[in-house]
Amino acid sequence: MIINLIQGASECVSNLVNENGIGEEVKHMFDRFMSDQWITVIENGSKDEYESELAIAINPIADKIVGITGEQFVDSMSFELRQWIKDTSLLWIKNKGGGQTTTEAEVNTMRQEDRHQRELKNLA
């Protein structure tokens, strides 16, 4: 049952990309997400720097699909979604989490490290 759900979700995403002709835009987004600059901003950047990088990454898709800028799209996102993207980036991209379990404790540890880094940056 779970495999069917995953396959269905994969097909849905594939259809969305193909039907909207956004293959290059998706590639741009993932290239940005896989960059060292993205991870550096997530780990050490301010809220504004993170949201700016996120807007740059999704701008081509937002522009093509809904006709708005990446910045406008990010502004419309909930705090929870922005945080989920950040946490996911740290756990799966930076830590190469594919195939590894992700626990709530790991997410909390990442959040604590993130807070600690911001506090150190503010003291400097």
Interatomic CA distance for residues 73 and 54, integer angstroms? 10
Amino acid sitting at position 15: N
Interatomic CA distance for residues 69 and 57, integer angstroms? 11
User: Is 72 within 8 Å of 62 (Cβ atoms)?
Assistant: yes
Q: State residue 104's pLDDT score.
A: 67
pLDDT digits (tens, 9 = 90+) for 73-94: 999 999 999 999 998 888 877 7
Tell me the DSSP string of 27-89: HHHHHHHTSHHHHHHHHH--HHHHHHHHHHHHHHHHHHHHS--HHHHHHHS-HHHHHHHHHHI
Interatomic CA distance for residues 57 and 31, integer angstroms? 9
Q: State residue 87's pLDDT score.
A: 86
Domain spans in the chain, listed from the N-terminal domain onward: 25-123
Per-residue pLDDT of the chain (124 residues; tens, 9 = 90+): 778 778 888 888 888 888 889 999 999 998 999 899 998 998 899 999 999 999 999 999 999 999 999 999 999 999 999 999 998 888 877 776 655 555 667 667 777 777 777 788 778 6
